[in-house]
Chains A and B, each alone.
Chain A
Amino acid sequence: MINSVPNLRAERGWTQGDLAKQLGVSRQTVNAIETGRYDPSLPLAFAIAKLFRRRIEEVFQP
């Protein structure tokens, strides 16, 4: 699964640590999602989309 998390995060000037803090996960988790090493659970994917004010399919694509 590909995702636009790095771009959306960069648009807001956030670090991976900033995003991790807002999502309540570790920086390693954000890094793993951004680099495609980990596909987040549905609750976390929805939380990411909600944080970026996007629909989930706009953030994550198969």
Chain B
Amino acid sequence: MQSDTRWVLVSWMRQFGAAMVIYLAALVAATWALGSVRVGPLRTAIILVPILPGLALIWLTVRAYGRCDEYIRLRLLRAAAIAAIAVAALSLVYFYLELLGFPHLSTAWISNVVWAVFVAQMLRLIATGK
């Protein structure tokens, strides 16, 4: 248990934000490489680079979990559960919308939804304490 849990969350949010910016930059580069770089080791490397900051997002969050006290850990787990449920609901709905002709989406959106829902809850906890 630590008394500086709020600092842990704020620190996590800053590091998470930085990792997310790097991830998005790598994602843009990977998307560009898909259509603009000739098939070969360089193209493969550019496309795979986003995996590293993507995994960093997870590592930062797991590390923050270990540094928080029991109540904040509960909140983190609840945020993760709600994010998972949101993805389950959205993927269920969109599956049927796809059957009706909606465009096929990459599975990459799952990660985006999970983090968006999770981070929104953490921001609320940091801002309001509730």
Contact = CB atoms under 8 A, between A and B. Distances in A.
Interface of A: 20-21, 23-29, 31-33, 37-38, 40-41, 44
Given A27-B129, A28-B129, A31-B129, A20 B70 contact: no
A40 B3 contact: no
Chain A contact residues, majority secondary structure: helix
B78 to A, nearest CB: 11
Interface string B50-81: 00000000000000000011111010000000
Interface of B: 1-6, 68-72, 74, 125, 129-130
B1 A24 contact: yes
Contacts of B125: 28
A29 B71 contact: yes
Contacts of B129: 27-28, 31
A28 B69 CA distance: 10
A25 B5 contact: yes
A41 B73 CA distance: 12
Given A31-B129, A44-B1, A25 B70 contact: yes
B1 A23 contact: yes
Contacts of A33: 71
Contacts of A27: 6, 129
B6 A25 contact: no
B13 to A, nearest CB: 15
A58 B33 CA distance: 66
A41 B70 contact: yes
Contacts of B70: 25, 29, 40-41, 44
